[in-house]
Amino acid sequence: MPFVWMFFFRTIHPVLSQVWAESFGAKLALREESHHAQCGVCTRHKLLLRKLSGDRQLRNQQMKAYSEHLQRQYDDRVQYWAARTRSRIPVLPDGEHSICLITDGQDHNKYRYPRDTIFQSKELSGCIRPCMDATAVIAHGYGILMALSEPFVRKDSSWSCELIAYVVNQISETSDIRKMELICQADNTSREVKNNTLTRMAGYLIGSRRLKRMELRFLQSGHSHEDVDAWFSVLSNLLESKKHLETPEDFQQVLQEFLVDPKQRPHEQKFREVKIVNSIRNWIFDCKKTMREELNQFNSSLNFPLGLVPQKRPPQVPKSLIKCRENMDLLGTCGGLLW
């Protein structure tokens, strides 16, 4: 039997692959094995299933747990697909409006500059070239923002807040977002979206009545590949076809010309921008300060719901505890009250 399989893979399998590629490749392509990191839970289940090949009962139990894991990650994707569809509809049957956006970063090795055929020579193969960071925010049904930045610009939670706030501001120029819900979809990276800064920003937008509702959603680690990653693959092929790109402005021009084509992302037509970002605000502190100032300013003129108006601290609280509270970012249960 081993000889038969060896004969098959060495002689017959290459011929079948060639015939399939020539006759059916344009209709159905066979995806190659992925080189990306795999889900740790899936890998553990597969290894256990392989080890339990001799025990049918344990293998069935392990297969049931593996199927439940796959079903959970599929249910997360269904929630995102439903929100994406709702966002592309101008007005829902119940009269509500929804904005669904997804944000992610692209491999910065694709944005190494300067790019030229001369760097293929052996003399310049070891030349260290800077890499730009690229982050995309796709607001389904509205528009696309592509942000490019140099390595010295920090890529933390403030970076994600800056881009999301810019996209929401672009939508607010043509729509009344005070009656809309915002659903922000991202992967499971805590550095970008899954952190206290984005949660504090959401509380600030809701507490100041700039948005009706905001929700942060995250896909499971290892199962976060979505439409934005497929779009990154298209951009990578575009950049690979350009042999001469010297400056960040050249990358910006190529991407902007590509986005002008209405066939690319046909649902997002209201705005398509490629920006080079040189600096961002510190949302970790600015959002906290703005929340305090606005609550103190409008406290006498607006009727805030219970929990939005800052109350005085009780005098019996020790000073050390008050100092600790000032240094911590505490999110309130109604609207995002910050100490």
pLDDT digits (tens, 9 = 90+) for 4-24: 445 455 555 667 677 767 777
User: Residue 291: pLDDT above 60?
Assistant: no
Mean pLDDT for the stretch of residues 152-156: 86
Mean pLDDT for the stretch of residues 69-86: 91
Note whether residue 296 is domain-resident.
Answer: no
What's the mean pLDDT when you consider all of the chain?
77
CA distances from 50 to 1, 53, 57, 67 (A): 20, 6, 14, 15
Task: Record the pTM.
Answer: 0.73
Note whether residue 234 is domain-resident.
Answer: yes
pLDDT digits (tens, 9 = 90+) for 200-244: 888 888 888 888 899 999 888 888 888 888 889 889 889 888 888
**In sequence order, which residues have a C-beta less than 8 Å from that of residue 308 and are 6 or more positions away?**
207, 295, 332, 334, 335, 337
pLDDT digits (tens, 9 = 90+) for 26-62: 666 666 666 566 788 888 888 888 888 788 888 889 8
pLDDT of residue 334: 33
CA distances from 45 to 54, 62, 306 (A): 16, 7, 48
Could you give the number of structural domains in the chain? 1
pLDDT of residue 298: 43
User: Residue 329: pLDDT above 50?
Assistant: no
Domain membership of residue 172 as a residue range: 97-283
- Give the Cα separation of 46 and 62 in Å (integer): 9
CB 236 within 8 A of CB 258: no
Mean pLDDT for the stretch of residues 127-154: 89
**Can you spell out the DSSP letters for 120-164?**
GSGGGTT----B-EEEEEEETTTEEEEEEE-TTS--SHHHHHHHH
3-state secondary structure of 307: coil
- Give the Cα separation of 65 and 299 in Å (integer): 53
Note whether residue 264 is domain-resident.
Answer: yes
HSE toward the beta carbon, residue 263, CA cutoff 13 A: 2
User: Residue 171: pLDDT above 50?
Assistant: yes
pLDDT of residue 316: 44
Pairwise pLDDT comparison (194 vs 305), residue with the higher score: 194
**In sequence order, which residues have a C-beta less than 8 Å from that of residue 311 and are 6 or more positions away?**
none
HSE toward the beta carbon, residue 252, CA cutoff 13 A: 14
User: Residue 265: pLDDT above 50?
Assistant: yes
Note whether residue 324 is domain-resident.
Answer: no
CA angle 267, 269, 270 (to 5 degrees): 125
The single-letter DSSP state of residue 313 is: P
Q: Within the chain, where are the H helices? A: 2-7, 13-23, 40-51, 56-88, 157-172, 196-207, 227-241, 248-260, 283-298, 319-327
Question: Which amino acid is it at 249?
Answer: E
- Edge-to-edge strands, sheet with 213-218: 213-218, 180-186, 97-106, 133-139, 143-149, 271-277
Note whether residue 279 is domain-resident.
Answer: yes
Note whether residue 209 is domain-resident.
Answer: yes
The single-letter DSSP state of residue 112 is: B
Q: Which residue has the tokens 């902007």?
A: 256
Note whether residue 61 is domain-resident.
Answer: no
